[in-house]
Structure 1
Amino acid sequence: MRPTGDTATVVVDAMVTGLGSAPIGLGSAPIGLTGSDGGWAIGIEDGRVVSIDTVPARPGRCDVALPTLANAHDHGRGDGTQLLGARDARLDPWIADFLALTPGDSQYDNVFGSSERMRDAGVGSVNICLNPTTDDLAHEVREAARAVRAVGVRACIGVPLTSLSAGAMREGRGRNARARAHAERELDRIDELAAEIEGPDLALVYHPVGPQWVDEDALAACADRSAATGRVMHMHLLETEAQRQWADRTYPDGIVRALDDLGFLTAQTVLAHGVHLRPDEMELIARRGSTVVVNAASNFRLASGIPDVDAMTTAGVRVAIGMDGMTLEDDADMWRELRLVRGLWQGLRRDTVGAREVLGPATVGAAASFGAAAPEPLQVGALADFVVHDLTRWAEVIRHPRWGSAEVALSGARGSTVREMWCRGVQLVDKGRRRGD
């Protein structure tokens, strides 16, 4: 690990830059840079990018730099769910199985292990929606924070708010002052923990786990508190068909409209999954500037359905991408997830999807999901938040006019190709040597 006070020059043969935060499908224009007559030298001083200059070509080399990936929805599930013994199943029975098999007081090990594997595959920003392993929630939050800081990545930690025991869905829409007062006390506790724990590398977010598990008083209180503090709200929404059926029974006029009436849909709102959203609901979410995090592999493994990322982006929804601790191979390699998302998207669109359309929401385009711990773009003046992949096998392909750096990165990058990684101005990976080696 290189300390932030050092100077460094990172030489690459191609870059992917300009992956801005505009909603995909609404005019974002990431730029792939391949130096036909040379490469690029990224100058770093005191942890910040101070220059990006051209350098002579390196024949036969293909090191590609791009912003670190942002995993916008996860739970920090250690080595994965299958090695724990939880077989894939529909969500509700799977949750019961997973919780029964999770060891007590294992939050640190789970978050450290999963964050380390993500970091080593080029993920620099991680969302962790906590699944508590003890009755002491403050302890769980502190352990998760300690774990991600030991790994070195940026993180936002979702502190759960629930009204019901695991497995139960609330009945009706009853409101009462006592429930609101209880929710306010829980939010006070989160704000107090935030004052103790937060920093430029880490933010706490309000995490009402899902509308079927949280009463309306808590949702309203959360919305009001977020409006007052600017803190992100992160909630599962319409992940499964059973949740859609519950929502239609409970909210005949539409659950998304009801959330909007509560003030819950804002630019600080992040909604995980959205598999069973309808077109009018997507349009309302887009108008409010909320984010939907697509978790394709998890939806497949838990038989939840197919997230219609094409309909979401067509409606103008800001989309981010997450792994949910459930990649197809439990390997925490987000590059495989991105290729899966692109394949799914193309099948839904019945046309090709450019690599830059996928890389935008997978990098700095996910900034809204992370609040104060959002990643920075690869540009002069920003903290060094980028990863370099050794894609030498693609050295000839990258210069073909139909390819370029973004397409090559999405097609060829994986955990094993990471050569160097910087996060928050700190070099966490150097030619295969990880922080702490």
Structure 2
Amino acid sequence: MTDPTRTIDCTHVIGPTGSLGAQTIAIKGDAIAAVTPSKSAAAEKLLAMPALVNAHDHGRAVRTSSIGADAMPLEIWINYIGLFPAVDPYLAAAMSYANSALGGAGTVMNHYTRAQGLTDLPTEVAEVARAARDVGIRAGFAVSMKDRNPLVYGDAGPLLAALPAEARREIEARLLKPPLSPQDYIKLVDDVAAAADSPHFNVQYGPNGVQWCSDELLQAIAKASERTGRRVHMHLLETKYQRAWADETYPHGVVRMLDNIGLLSPRLTLAHCTWANQYELDLLAERGVTITVNTSSNLHLHSGVAPVPQMHKSICKVAMGIDSKALDDDDDALRELRLSYLLHAGTGFDLQTTRLQALQQAVGNGRFAVTNVNDGGRIEPGAAADLLLLDWAALDNDGLRDDLDPLHVLYSRATRAHIRELIVGGRSIVTDGRVLGVDLPAVRAEVLDKMRAGMAANAGMIQALAALQPGVTKYYLDMPCC
């Protein structure tokens, strides 16, 4: 139960205009009632900031590096995800959402590109929604939709023909399942929404990406989104190979094509846009599209560095995602915030954005993209009581100056280890490294036990993927590329 009233005395509060100094935050129900100068001489050594947002993720319970999916480009890495054994969807989601909360994210987008498949999808997603509710985070949920290019961006026939017979059988059985029709995909999203949608769990259309979705499917999604008002969450131009494929397939421009079919709107979130050009960014900004930048994931998968300064120049709405692949594979949203800012802010005196602006964009744009509610995500009266409280004494453990800008300290050294409490909607969901709504150690133990038991069935697929990798590598190295 949420306490009807609560006050928190803080050494520092990061408000809409920057550091407010020592303040008392009053929470009533699920909202901030007041923010006033602290009169307590014994104010706790806390830094209060808006709870962070992971605006693009895939809800994986276990790190992909644990199944050997690491140190390789997306185009081969993505096939390794099939090695994860199916487990109870509630437990998997609870583990994923709890890890996100421990990393400082109170709002999380889940592009559900791999279902557990133990029941029909609406029943499964209802369990995912229950896990989000128990952990206490706000969630967006995009239903995976794809109907072309399941193996490579083009004809996979020669690649399959070159495989040993056993490897080919494994690949075809695991990775080449027939897709739904566009109409059936739209109905599936409606069914999932009927089973799971709520004010704290926003169901969205989730086309995996243009290279994986036919024009007919994308057109059906654009029409359905316009009709229902439901958001769309999609990957775009994540890698240079996707850029090359898009330029060949859509010589007049892939982003222009998306605009022509009505998909570009404020209802659309695009993950990555790592290889987008200035014209495309200008058009995305004009249409009000949100771009979620996934800095660590791009580095891990050798996808490149997103043109964030150009996004700022175009006045794009930019959010922050972790993409289930944080720098240390640990869902640390604070470290992701710092890395993304330092890598993309600019050089020398020519900075494209300030630390405060980067924080406000990551939280404000991210909350809208995930929840479809444009409430800003700031610490001010009337705002949702979504707060991240950090241990200021541990952050400033040198204690040499009492006039340090807490934003500078935050961006210099804050990690998940400094989190004292995460509050979402006035409810404390993490305290001193412990998730309050679920027994995470027990959940983790059960998930890993089931996954370890299930890995025995993957021996053939592991060998098949090893046989597939040289052919996929050659396919893309031979592709005329940017």
Q: 1:87 & 1:5 partners in 2: Cα distance?
A: 44
Does the 8 Å contact 1:130/1:158 carry over to 2? yes
Does the alignment pair 1:112 with 2:94?
Answer: yes
In the alignment, what sits opposite 2:249?
A: 250
In the alignment, what sits opposite 1:69?
A: 52
In the alignment, what sits opposite 1:315?
A: 314
Taking the TM superposition and a 5 Å limit, the aligned residue runs for 1:5-404 are 5-18=3-16, 31-35=17-21, 39-56=22-39, 58=41, 62-99=45-82, 101-105=83-87, 107-135=89-117, 136-164=120-148, 166-169=150-153, 182-347=181-346, 351-352=350-351, 353-372=353-372, 376-392=377-393, 393-394=395-396, 396=399, 399-400=402-403, 403-404=404-405
Q: 1:57 & 1:308 partners in 2: Cα distance?
A: 45
Q: 1:239 & 1:120 partners in 2: Cα distance?
A: 27
Q: 2:301 & 2:210 partners in 1: Cα distance?
A: 19
Could you say what the CA RMSD is over the residues aligned between the two structures, in angstroms?
2.5
Does the 8 Å contact 1:200/1:373 carry over to 2? no
Q: CA deviation at 1:386?
A: 0.9
Deviation digits for residues 330-384 of structure 1, max 9, x if unmatched?
0110111111111211356874452112211221232321234666432212331
Identity across the alignment (%)? 33
Q: CA deviation at 1:106?
A: 5.2
**TM-score, normalised on structure 1?**
0.87
**Greater shift in the superposed pair: 116-125 or 363-372:** 363-372
In the alignment, what sits opposite 2:466?
A: none
**Greater shift in the superposed pair: 151-160 or 367-376:** 367-376
Deviation digits for residues 40-96 of structure 1, max 9, x if unmatched?
111122232222222236579641111100100000122311123322211111111
Q: CA deviation at 1:397?
A: 6.7
Q: 1:7 & 1:77 partners in 2: Cα distance?
A: 35
* Code of the aligned partner of 1:369: A
Task: Determine helix, strand or coil for the equivalent of 1:381.
Answer: coil
Q: CA deviation at 1:210?
A: 0.3
Q: Decide whether aligned partners of structure 1 residues 368 and 349 sit closer, same or farther in structure 2, where only a CA change above 3 A counts.
A: farther
Q: 1:110 & 1:92 partners in 2: Cα distance?
A: 25
Does the 8 Å contact 1:203/1:373 carry over to 2? no
**TM-score, normalised on structure 2?**
0.79
Q: Decide whether aligned partners of structure 1 residues 182 and 347 sit closer, same or farther in structure 2, where only a CA change above 3 A counts.
A: same
Task: Determine helix, strand or coil for the equivalent of 1:428.
Answer: strand
Structure 2: any 5+ residue segments left out of the alignment?
A: 156-179, 440-482
Q: 2:105 & 2:48 partners in 1: Cα distance?
A: 13
Q: CA deviation at 1:298?
A: 0.6
Deviation digits for residues 138-190 of structure 1, max 9, x if unmatched?
3442232222222110000110111136324368xxxxxxxxx9313321221
Deviation digits for residues 257-282 of structure 1, max 9, x if unmatched?
01100101000110000010011000
Does the 8 Å contact 1:125/1:153 carry over to 2? yes
* Higher Rg: 2
Deviation digits for residues 196-220 of structure 1, max 9, x if unmatched?
3111211111000001110111111
* Code of the aligned partner of 1:217: E
Q: 1:43 & 1:430 partners in 2: Cα distance?
A: 18
Structure 1: any 5+ residue segments left out of the alignment?
A: 19-30, 172-180
**Greater shift in the superposed pair: 330-339 or 108-117:** 108-117
